[in-house]
Homo-oligomer: A and B are copies of this chain.
Amino acid sequence: MAANPKSKKAYASAGVDVDLGNRVKSGIQALVKGTHGPEVLGKIGGFGGLFRPNFRGMKDPVLVSSVDGVGTKLKLAFMTGRHDTVGQCLVNHCINDIAVIGAKPLFFLDYIGAEKLEPKVFQQLLKGFSKACKAAKCAIIGGETAQMPGMYQPGEYDLVGTIVGVVDRPRMIDGSGIRPGDIILGLASNGLHTNGYTLARKVLFEQMGLKLSAKLEGVTGTLGDELLRVHKNYQPLLSTLPAGVVKGLAHITGGGLVDNFPRVLPKNCDAIVDTASWKIPAIYKHIERGGGVDHAEMFQVFNMGIGMTIVVAPRDAKAVQAKLKARVIGKIEKGTGIVRLK
């Protein structure tokens, strides 16, 4: 009794096409090949991805791992039919989340859940993952694509990424060295990155009735372009700094400066952030005004133009600022572990 391809009718008519899944996946190898260094053993298609880590030169290697999605930025991909940036956003978001501890990425795994696999969409997503991983010297060693009819809307999908990286324990960054008087630097974000899209879409499309092709004052390109910009990966830039200079890093994601910065603040320090010290990008002003959103809430939903914060000692501020093209956005004062926006 050989399995007969012609007989796979029941599963397909229930909405799961195993053959389609296999056909779609057959192109993966070529796409992810460019992300593989000698550490990657075996190949995708086995049950687990194999990675032989090289911890040479490390005293006490610690694995650092994080899982994330890109939220409803996906809706922008669905609306525009452009699926090439969200995969990059996911990889870069994950890498930043471990970079704040001082870790460099080793490998990445992706999950795509969808109502039905669309080969063209799948290829674009994989291209995005591959492009970002290649740029970050991070290997894609696994992935799962799940066809779940009745779970997702037709043409929609969710993306989930997991990153695993490594940091040498003596070089781990945890904010514990932060002291009153330290300087807060900010690195510019590239648009909304991957947070606040539910509110942004509601305000821009529902309340303001804007189209994807809209041109807004102060915004480069169309509204669609602006909202699909790729989440920046700050790790390559941060890795250029000498060990020991950075006291604390915060990746400004969901919860904004207000919720993310305290993750690295000692309990007896506050972060005083001067919101006039950088130019808040125009898109946020449109959202704030168009939606009548409270100014304070804007800073708890969006990155407001700052994608990563860096705390350094006063003596290091100038050199780090110049090297990273960062901006001084505030300072550390005695306090209770919160962010105070000025």
Interface of A toward B, CB cutoff 8 Å: 1-4, 7-11, 14-16, 18, 41-42, 45-53, 60-69, 71-72, 74-75, 97-98, 100-101, 103, 106-107, 109-111, 113, 141-144, 146-153, 156, 158, 160, 162-165, 169, 172, 174, 196, 198-199, 201-203, 250-251, 254-255, 258-259, 263, 275, 291-297, 299-301, 338-342
Contacts and interface: CB of A to CB of B under 8 A. Distances in A.
Contacts of A147: 198
A50 B167 CA distance: 9
B340 A8 contact: no
Contacts of A3: 258, 296-297, 299-300, 339, 341
A254 B17 CA distance: 11
21 contacts: A10-B294, A11-B198, A41-B62, A46-B263, A47-B97, A48-B98, A48-B103, A48-B165, A50-B63, A51-B64, A67-B144, A67-B160, A67-B162, A69-B113, A71-B146, A113-B158, A144-B160, A149-B198, A151-B156, A160-B160, A164-B164
A284 B69 CA distance: 36
B199 A69 contact: no
B11 A110 contact: no
B199 A111 contact: no
B162 A158 contact: no
A65 B65 CA distance: 12
Copies in the complex: 2
A18 B198 contact: no
Interface of A is mostly: mixed
Contact of A14 (B67, B107, B146, B198): B198
B101 A52 contact: no
A98 B158 CA distance: 24
A72 B164 contact: no
Nearest to A64: B48
Contacts of A340: 1-2
Given A11-B301, A294-B4, A295-B1, A64 B50 contact: yes
Contact of A10 (B64, B250, B297): B297
